[in-house]
Amino acid sequence: MADEIIVDIEKRFPDASIRAEFRLDLAPGSTAILFGPSGAGKTTVLRSIAGLERPDRGVICFNQDTWFDHTRAINQPPETRGVGLLFQEFALFPHLTVRQNIEYGLDHHPKPERRRISDQIMQLFEVAELADRRPRQISGGQAQRVALARAVAPRPRILLLDEPLGALDLPTRARVRTELRRLLERVEIPSIVVTHDRAEALALGQHIVVMIDGEVRQIGCVEEVFRRPASAAVAHSVGVETILRGVVVAVKDGLARIQIGECFVSAAIQEESREQDRVLVSIRAEDVTLQLAANPSESARNHFAGIIESIEGDGATERVCVDCGFFLVALITRSSREELGLDAGTAVTASVKATAVHLIPL
């Protein structure tokens, strides 16, 4: 059975205000992402849900329980809301052992029961062999598991995680991402995770709330929002590399033909489109393929001849910017670039399927 959380709050600061309104149905073990750039208001919203921050107005409800209601003067403290918290710094007590950290929130249980719960939780999170160690004696990935174990031990109604991988170095973060998803699913407690990292959002979440400049801009399934952003601001936020202004010049047989300068792009119609509509054309880099051949496969509707403008390394992948009358970014592996012999100045054909082109009305 899904848990329902309703958030409709406003928090004012001297130089800004945060307005968040959303409703989520969270199944056991599912994760919702509060996503957006730094300063968007994500952490303030999370802290308000936890009861660590008091909004200036609005309501926060979890199932049938009202946690905050400004008009009714209701503001339940964190300990009565039943939330489990995990912050970026993990905040493990350095003078306590791993077991003592995990048992910290179990004071209301007799000692034998605390021991039973901590044994069970340490087995679940695979940290039993660390029971007698202190935080300085364990790795960053292990500390992350211990912090999550401590948050889960009291069996909260919901887990709230604020940039849970932000304190880890990049190699560790990539490895722990998959592990965190597995652990969140295993404990069967719904969670809300704050992050500005696109890879984390895609890896961890089923639902997403995109916040920009203190406001919620889009809500939906993670894959859908990343594929079909509702605005240019959301498209930029979720990392769409190519965003172009165009005009719909024809609509026929389920396809829209869009003029961009002197070039034309075909897109599968997602909504009712009309000729002369002004739109933004949104294309993700991973949906662009590059070939040296002048006559590429016809499996894609759009083929653009162009010259590579620049290549930017990004770990095992590389971003290739192609000038084909407009700038189009492709994401390819380093080995593919080397195999094709691509470099700045190389002539290529860029191909994009019509179904991969998303239109945003202006």
What does the pLDDT look like over 295-333, one tens digit per residue? 655 667 899 999 999 999 877 789 999 999 999 999 999
Residue that the structure tokens 């303030």 belong to? 44
Same domain? For 203 and 352 the reply is: no
Same domain? For 165 and 305 the reply is: no
Pair 216, 210: CB distance under 8 Å:
yes
Same domain? For 285 and 178 the reply is: no
Q: Give the pLDDT confidence of 211-227 residue by residue, as tens digits.
A: 999 999 999 999 999 99
Mean pLDDT of 251-267: 93
Look up the CATH number of the domain holding residue 11. 3.40.50.300
- Higher confidence at residue 56 or residue 163? 56
What gap in Å lies between CA 194 and CA 182, rounded to an integer?
A: 17
- Non-local CB neighbours of 288 within 8 Å, separated by 6+ positions: 242, 328, 329, 330, 331, 350, 351, 352
Burial class of 170 by CB neighbour count within 10 A (0 to 12, 13 to 18, 19+): exposed
Pair 196, 122: CB distance under 8 Å:
no
Please, which pLDDT band fits residue 356 given cuts at 50, 70 and 90? very high
Pair 6, 61: CB distance under 8 Å:
yes
Same domain? For 258 and 110 the reply is: no
Same domain? For 82 and 168 the reply is: yes
Burial class of 21 by CB neighbour count within 10 A (0 to 12, 13 to 18, 19+): middle
**Structural domain harbouring 135:** 3-236
Residue 296 has a pLDDT of 59
Exposure pattern of 190-221 as b/e (b: 16+ CB <10 Å)?
bbbbbbbbeebbbbbbebbbbbbebbbbbbbe
Residue 360 has a pLDDT of 93
Mean pLDDT of 273-281: 88
Domain limit, last residue, from 203, 236, 269: 236
Q: Give the pLDDT confidence of 10-23 residue by residue, as tens digits.
A: 999 999 999 999 99
Whole-Å CA distances, 8 to 56, 187, 338: 11, 28, 51
What gap in Å lies between CA 108 and CA 105, rounded to an integer?
A: 8
Same domain? For 117 and 133 the reply is: yes
What gap in Å lies between CA 7 and CA 123, rounded to an integer?
A: 35
Mean pLDDT of 175-197: 88
Residue 274 has a pLDDT of 81
Mean pLDDT of 80-104: 89
Per-residue pLDDT for 157 more than 80?
A: yes
Question: Tokens in use for 362?
Answer: 């202006």
Residue 343 has a pLDDT of 93
CB atoms within 10 A of CB 228: 17
Same domain? For 271 and 345 the reply is: yes
Burial class of 306 by CB neighbour count within 10 A (0 to 12, 13 to 18, 19+): buried
Residue that the structure tokens 């965190």 belong to? 180
Same domain? For 344 and 226 the reply is: no
* DSSP E strands, 2-62: 3-13, 16-26, 31-35, 57-62
Residue 97 has a pLDDT of 94
How many domains does the chain fold into?
2
DSSP class of residue 54? -
Helix, strand, coil percent values for the chain (each to nearest 5) = 30, 40, 35
Residue 295 has a pLDDT of 61
Per-residue pLDDT for 276 more than 90?
A: no
Per-residue pLDDT for 184 more than 80?
A: yes
CB atoms within 10 A of CB 141: 16
Residue 283 has a pLDDT of 96
Residue 187 has a pLDDT of 86
Same domain? For 164 and 279 the reply is: no
Look up the CATH number of the domain holding residue 267. 2.40.50.100
What gap in Å lies between CA 362 and CA 280, rounded to an integer?
A: 7
Q: Helix or strand or coil: residue 256?
A: strand
What gap in Å lies between CA 32 and CA 6, rounded to an integer?
A: 13
Domain limit, last residue, from 220, 236, 252: 236
What gap in Å lies between CA 103 and CA 97, rounded to an integer?
A: 10
Please, which pLDDT band fits residue 344 given cuts at 50, 70 and 90? very high
Same domain? For 215 and 246 the reply is: no
Domain limit, last residue, from 205, 236, 267: 236
pTM: 0.88
Same domain? For 201 and 267 the reply is: no
Task: Give which of 128, 357, 173 is closest to 264, Cα–Cα.
Answer: 357
In this structure, the chain runs to a length of 362
Same domain? For 211 and 244 the reply is: no
Mean pLDDT of 328-340: 92
Please, which pLDDT band fits residue 294 given cuts at 50, 70 and 90? low
